[in-house]
Chains A and B, each alone.
Chain A
């Protein structure tokens, strides 16, 4: 099977009008506008197989939304090529649009003043979904997303999390094989975030949908996707398994200790970098290759009740990657 989504040296440059402050600046902008190039996406290449769920990670302004908009056909690439479900998204027409769902975090399709069910009915007509299919799918989405009695409440009375759940339902009634989700858990409380993650996992398992999901919540990605794309300042920094990323870029390991009486912070400092010390618990950071020998030395020299060697938290690893302090291999 060909990949569901491919991006080949994809770039997007926005031309932004530069305006100097003051009246003189306004005049100059009017007579002789100057433009600045914003390289939102640069030379990004990846392929996503049918049925994959891929997390698209990066800080604000990294180029995630811009990439999704190019994949969904709203923006035209400045250079490079995209193919989604065998279509060139720009100008893909109705046949293409029936195969995708695009959920953008901020502005959404639920009609604000009406209950969600009215938007669902509208989509039933727009996507030409047969009545029995519609009823079956709606019942399933209601069950999976636990929509219960939300369908008849005006959207403006719903909480953010309830709204996002209904938004997903509206976007999936036509059962698209490819989902583009931009920050679907942004601003939601932990329970709602988990509900959405659980739903996405189940949905993908049932229908083999391909999902590309942006987020800057690490949990979204660790919980959902085994594969991540990491983008920063428009460039793809990493494409691969989450676990491999940690192994590749983190030069350290954490030794987590439970200590017995008499061990002080000063004593521990002789073995490595003390990250936390809250007796009897302590965390040491040591170079990756020294983890085993240091552990052995600790066990021999100190009264240690328990010891484990861990990778640093994924958040720290990725933050370090974004900070640019760590070189990543070209994906």
Chain B
């Protein structure tokens, strides 16, 4: 272990600490996980009832079931709580010692994400496997190529949601409302990222507007890639959209981080 390269050792240590801390807060992790399961389960229940024996915008009952199980997993793998952490670090003065260390604080945040997601997403996979034993509707066709593509899309979505959350958290340098802004973002994403319904069910005008934002790429696209709903051209545009928006959010993060630190240190002020 001590012969591993520096960054591997750093990440191993950061993830270990995050994992150990999470272990102490099992109860709250279970709560967050329950919420992560309940929301799609409720949505599924509603659409299940509406679909009846027919279809809604091409979605039959089984399609909804697969969609919301995939959503549950992808959401857990891509969710990011970083704005809450950062807001706390900045307001409680816990950023100080982090800035005095020769390691960018974002690495600690990334490690937290990895530790949290490994645990919760792992649990969801187990739940999904168990449910699929008794409920054929939620079974996915065996398609390793598609799963590999999905893995790439999930990684991009997770990176994008990380930068969105981190950047929003950095707003705490300017305002005490950083987490409120993040809540607002989560509220909008409820509709535009496919959390409440597949995007195909949105009114055409809303769907067209959503397509111009990052919301579909942070959740709906990898979900539809996993269920098989995204095919051909949609796969290409999905990845292009993800890359473009990831780039935009990385740039936003850069600007916010440098400006925020300058404001914190009041450079020139």
Report which residue of A73, A101, A118, A122 has the largest number of chain B beta carbons within 10 angstroms of its beta carbon. A122
Is the CB of B55 closer than 8 A to any CB of chain A?
no
Q: How large is the interface on B (under 10, 10 to 19, 20 to 34, 35 or more residues)?
A: 20 to 34
A106 touches B93 (CB 8 A): yes
Cβ–Cβ < 8 Å partners of B101 in chain A: 97, 109, 123, 126-127
Q: Which of A76, A108, A125 contacts B97 (CB 8 A)?
A: A108
Give the residue of A101, A111, A125 whose beta carbon is less than 8 angstroms from that of B10: A125
Bound CA–CA A191/B25 (angstroms): 35
Chain B binding site: helix, strand, loop or mixed by DSSP? Answer: helix
Asked if A211 is at the interface of the complex by the 8 Å CB criterion, the answer is no
Q: With both chains docked as a complex, state the minimum distance between the C-beta of A111 and any C-beta of chain B, in angstroms.
A: 6
Q: A124: CB under 8 A from chain B?
A: yes
In the complex, whether B41 has a CB less than 8 A from a CB of chain A is no
CB-defined contacts of A113 to chain B, threshold 8 Å: 20-21, 24-25
Cα separation A95 to B103 with both chains bound (whole Å): 11
Asked if A90 and B267 sit within 8 Å, CB to CB, the answer is: yes
User: Pick the contact of A74 from B25, B100, B102, B269 — CB < 8 Å?
Assistant: B100
**Known contacts being A72-B100, A104-B93, A126-B10, is A111 close to B17, with CB within 8 Å?**
yes
- Residues on A with beta carbons closer than 8 Å to the beta carbon of B16: 118, 121
Known: A107-B93, A111-B21, A114-B17. A76 touches B100 (CB 8 A): no
* Cβ contact within 8 Å between B266 and A124: no
**Assembly CA distance A130 to B21 (angstroms):** 25
Which chain B positions have C-beta within 8 A of A90?
Answer: 265, 267
- B94 contacts partner chain A, Cβ-Cβ < 8 Å: yes
How far, in whole Å, are A78 and B101 apart by their CA atoms in the complex?
Answer: 23
Residues on B with C-beta less than 8 A from A125 are 6, 9-10, 12-14
> Are A109 and B97 closer than 8 Å at their CB atoms?
yes
A15/B102 in contact, CB under 8 A: no
* Chain A residues whose C-beta falls within 8 Å of the C-beta of B99 in the assembled complex: 73-74
Contact present for B17 and A118 (CB under 8 Å): yes
- Neighbour of A76 across the interface among B14, B25, B98, B267, CB < 8 A: B267
Closest to A115 in B: B20
CB of A257 closer than 8 Å to a CB of B:
no
Q: Judge whether A306 is part of the interface by a CB distance below 8 angstroms.
A: no
Known: A104-B93, A107-B97, A131-B2. A126 touches B17 (CB 8 A): no
Q: Are A94 and B102 in contact (CB under 8 A)?
A: yes
Q: Which residues of B contact A122 (CB under 8 A)?
A: 13-14, 17
- Which residues of chain A are near B94, meaning CB under 8 Å? 107
Contact between A121 and B13, CB atoms less than 8 A apart: yes
Nearest CB of A to B115, in Å: 13
Do the beta carbons of B20 and A114 come within 8 Å of each other?
yes
Let me know if A316 is at the binding interface, CB within 8 A: no
Residues in A whose Cβ lies below 8 Å from that of B53: none
A39 at the interface (CB under 8 A from B): no
Among the listed A76, A101, A119, A130, which residue makes an inter-chain contact with B262, where contact means beta carbons less than 8 Å apart?
A76
A279 within 8 A of B: no
* Per-position binary interface string of chain A over residues 77-111, scored 1 when its CB falls under 8 Å from any chain B CB and 0 otherwise: 01000000000001001110110111010111101
Tell me whether A76 and B266 are in contact (CB under 8 A).
yes
A15 close to B97 (CB less than 8 A):
no
Would B21 and A75 count as touching, CB distance under 8 A?
A: no
Chain A residues with CB under 8 Å of B97's CB are 102, 104, 107-109
Partner of A15, one of B2, B9, B100, B269: B269
Instruction: Report yes or no: A102 in contact with B96, Cβ–Cβ below 8 A.
Output: yes
CB atoms of A75 and B102 under 8 A apart = no
A101-156 residues at the B interface, CB under 8 angstroms: 101-102, 104, 106-109, 111, 113-114, 118-119, 121-128, 130-131
B175 to chain A, nearest CB (A): 12
* CB <8 Å contact, B6 and A78: no
How many whole Å from A87's CB to the nearest CB in chain B?
12
Which residues of A lie under 8 Å from residue B92 when comparing CB positions?
Answer: 107
Q: What's the nearest-Cβ distance from chain B to residue A35, in Å?
A: 10
B145 interface residue (CB < 8 Å to A): no
Question: B268 at interface (Cβ–Cβ under 8 A)?
Answer: yes
A75 to B265, Cβ gap below 8 A? yes
- Which residue of the partner chain, among A78, A111, A127, contacts B269 with CB atoms under 8 Å? A78
- B24 contacts across to A, CB distance below 8 A: 113
- Contacts of A72 on B, CB cut-off 8 Å? 100
A277 within 8 A of B: no
Q: CB-CB < 8 A to A75: which residues of B?
A: 264-266
Nearest CB to that of A128 among chain B residues?
A: B6
Inter-subunit contact A102/B9 (CB<8 Å): no
Q: CB-nearest residue of chain B relative to A126?
A: B103
Residues of A within 8 A of B96 (CB): 69, 74, 102, 104, 107
Q: Let me know if A14 is at the binding interface, CB within 8 A.
A: yes
Complex formed: what's the CA distance from A102 to B99 in Å? 10
In residues 240-281 of chain A, which contact B (Cβ within 8 Å)? none
Q: Shortest CB–CB separation between residue A94 and chain B, in angstroms?
A: 3
Output the nearest chain B residue to A104 by Cβ-Cβ distance: B96
Q: Which 8 A-B pairs have the closest CB atoms?
A: A94-B102, A125-B13, A76-B265, A97-B102, A76-B267, A102-B100, A109-B97, A107-B93
Given contacts A74-B99, A118-B17, 4 further A-B contacts (CB under 8 A): A12-B266, A95-B102, A102-B96, A114-B21
Name 13 A/B residue pairs within 8 A (Cβ), A-sorted.
Answer: A69-B96, A74-B96, A74-B264, A78-B269, A95-B102, A97-B101, A104-B97, A107-B93, A109-B98, A111-B21, A113-B24, A124-B13, A128-B6
